[in-house]
Amino acid sequence: MSSQKKLVVAHAPYWHDGSKISSKNYNIMIAALPAVLMGISQYGAPALAVIAFAMACAMIWEVVWNLILKKPASVGDGSAAVTGLLLGMLMPATAPWWLIALGTLIAIIVGKQIFGGIGFNPLNPPLLALAMLVISFTGIFDFNESLRHYDLGFVMTYPLADLKAFGPEAISKFGLGDLFMGRQAGAIGSTFGLGLIVGGLYLMLRGYMRWELSLSFLAGVFITALLFNLSDSAKYAGPLFHLLTGYTLIAAFFLVPEDSSSPANFIPMLIFGAMAGMMTVLIRNIGAYVDGVVFAVLLMNLCNPLLDKIRPKAIGKVVENA
């Protein structure tokens, strides 16, 4: 016998394409940067504080949960940081610290960890937290109210609130170009349309996001808004306005394509996105809430397990009793 070497055995395959959860999440953060930086440049230090505090809190809740349950540390995968970042981006710059601490607690613990952690959350964690906060603290998420001390050199009323209160004539003061370039009141990271689109395209091209979900969501918003607008343009705003205001773009590129709460098969992805887009406009135009994105996406999250049952027949599958 020759000298025995200690070899490592494992099961096939021995190659891997090198992808990791952490690099995926870091890339999502990179993609979110343009919109975040725009928000920080507009609202200054308070916006930076909200974003930083939200990310820190989310990661701390994750660590605390892991310590309490004696589970291996999972904060390194970047998932908690992404959740915190997205929740921060959905908040107004004036959000108080306790709101952020509470919101991230809901997102990490209630939204994700009690279901078993990453990959098991049936609902989008930042959106679930936001929905609870919006219902509980309506005043803070009334952007006209919370941003009243800011004058950034453009119309400082929240476009969707104006639309809800005064109808489409009231929104003629918002130029589409201004809305696209982030010159509108709103949450820190959700107003800069160009930045969000660039970030979204980056994620799509790198393969970190399912493009079907984003594009079908945008198509759902566009087509539904267009139909409303065609039926009565004096009552309903145009489709581009709906695309560029509120949470539409951040939802399309960062919230709808969240992995665990959205379908993975092709046709379900299209249905999921389109239905979420449709619900968004329905809530905005008919419902009670100013922005329908949060509840529309959460509602579709609930349909996800059912939708994902629509799948192609596996090759070779034998259908009995057919």
Partner 1 sequence: MIKKSFIGLVKPRLQYNLIPDQTRDLPVPSKVILLLQEPKNGGHASALKVGDAVKTGQRLSAAPDSDEYVISSVTGTISAMAPHVGTLGQRYTAITIDARSQDEWDDSFNKTPTLDTGLKFFEYAPGSPSFKAFTDPENTIRTIVIAGMDQDLLLTANQCVVQNEAAGIKSGVDALKQMTGADRILIAVPENLVQQANTTGAEVKVVRATYPNSLPHMIMKDVLGQVVSAGDTVEDEGVFFINAEAVAALGTAFETGRLCVTKVVTVAGKDGSTTNVRARIGTPINDVLQACNVSLNDRDRLILGGPMRGSATYSEDLGLEPDTDGIVVQDDVDSAQTTDYPCINCGECIRICPVKIPVNMLVRFLEARLYEDAAAMYDLHCCIECGLCSYVCVSRIPIFQYIKLAKYELSLIEIAEAANE
Instruction: Select the residue interacting with partner 1 from 264, 282, 299, 303 (CB under 8 A).
Output: 264
- CA separation, residue 110 to residues 74, 132, 248, 255, 286 (Å): 16, 11, 24, 17, 30
The residue from 41, 73, 120, 173 that contacts partner 1 (CB under 8 A) is: 120
Q: Is 70 in the site for partner 1 (CB under 8 A)?
A: no
Looking only at residues 14 through 53 of this chain, which bind partner 1 when binding is defined by CB under 8 A?
Answer: 14-21, 24
Q: Distance (Å, rounded) from C-alpha 98 to C-alpha 146?
A: 15
Using the rule CB under 8 A, which residue among 38, 99, 118, 270 binds partner 1? 118
Q: Terminus-to-terminus CA distance in the chain, angstroms? A: 60
Q: Rule CB under 8 A: say whether 314 interacts with partner 1.
A: yes
The region, left, alpha or beta by phi > 0 then psi within -120 to 50, assigned to residue 116 is left
Check binding of 217 to partner 1 (CB under 8 A): no
Closest contact distance (angstroms) between CB of 31 and partner 1 is 13
What is the DSSP secondary-structure string of 253-304? IIITT-STTS--SHHHHHHHHHHHHHHHHHHHHTSSSS--HHHHHHHHHHHH
Site mask for partner 1 (CB under 8 A), range 132-171, x = bound? ----------------------------------------
Contact of 100 with 106, CB cutoff 8 Å: no
Q: Is 121 within 8 Å of 260 (Cβ atoms)?
A: yes
User: How many chain residues interact with partner 1 (CB under 8 A)?
Assistant: 48
Q: Which of 73, 89, 318, 321 binds partner 1 (CB under 8 A)?
A: 318
**Residue 71 sits in the site that holds partner 1 (CB under 8 A):** no
**Would you count residue 231 as binding partner 1 (CB under 8 A)?**
no
**Residue 69 binds to partner 1 (criterion: CB under 8 A):** no
HSE, side-chain direction, 13 A CA sphere, residue 133 = 29
Min dist. Cβ of residue 124 to partner 1 (A): 12
Which residues make up the interface to partner 1 (CB under 8 A)? 1-2, 4-21, 24, 77, 116-120, 204-208, 210-211, 259-260, 262, 264-265, 308, 311-318
